[in-house]
Amino acid sequence: MASETVLSIRRDLAIYGPAQSGKTRWLAKLHEGAAAVWSERRTVLHLRTIDPLTAWSEEDPRIAAAWDAQAANDSTRRPWAKLRAFERTAALVAWVEQHRAILIVDDMHLAAGRKADVLRQLIAGCSLVVYSATEPQRIPMSLRTLLQRREPQEVNLKSEAAYDATSVFFWFLILLSAAAGAWPVAAALGGLKVMGGGRRASKQS
């Protein structure tokens, strides 16, 4: 049954569940509502491990803009358009560290090789990481060890998509309520059995 403890917006969050359980939708909603959940002043970066590594640094215009803004005052820096792929990835890592960004990663268990290496660097430099995976054991060992040391909160979604859509909605409301300081509302929502049966339904590490 559901935990009656409100999820903290100051701790990492791991979302586990099989395919079609709502993990990607969960993260998308958190990303869309990031300003309300955390703060408009916080920098949030949303990555999907199914995307090419080059897309991580190229699809978010803030990274190129930040680089070119610094290059305008530094003659030793080439403009973003002239950087090689590995240089753009390095710039991404530096940008996350500089802003102490909140990192949202979809399908952490699919990260391998160079992507896993880059994610380790990003996690080391970020302030918070929110991620999804089918289950902890599927995450590559080097990443799993790093993530578990951060003692993330855990939410476990079921495979019934319609049921979990309700769960996702309620947990999102809890986060928003807590962020807004509406602790009685958040606590009341947290007391609902939205995640339903099973000892792994929802827990905090």
CATH of the domain at 149: 3.40.50
Is 188 within the bounds of a domain?
A: no
Is 62 within the bounds of a domain?
A: yes
Is 180 within the bounds of a domain?
A: no
Is 181 within the bounds of a domain?
A: no
pLDDT value of position 2? 38
Structure tokens at 60: 């978010």
Is 182 within the bounds of a domain?
A: no
Is 170 within the bounds of a domain?
A: no
Q: Kindly list the distances between the CA atom of residue 185 and the CA atoms of 68, 79, 104, 193, in Å, as whole numbers in the listed order.
A: 44, 49, 26, 15
Is 72 within the bounds of a domain?
A: yes
Domain count of the chain?
1
Neighbour-count burial for 135-150, b at 16+ CB within 10 Å, e otherwise: eeeebbeebbebbeee
Domain extent, residue 24, equals 13-154
Is 148 within the bounds of a domain?
A: yes
pTM (2 d.p.): 0.79
- Residue showing tokens 């999820």: 7
Question: How would you write the pLDDT of the chain (205 residues) with one tens digit per residue?
Answer: 334 446 788 899 999 988 878 788 888 888 888 888 888 899 999 999 999 999 999 999 999 999 999 999 888 899 999 999 999 999 999 999 999 999 999 999 999 999 999 999 999 999 999 999 999 999 999 999 999 999 999 988 876 554 445 555 556 656 655 555 555 445 444 444 333 443 344 443 3
pLDDT value of position 170? 59
pLDDT value of position 58? 94
Q: Cα(163)–Cα(196) distance, rounded to whole angstroms?
A: 9
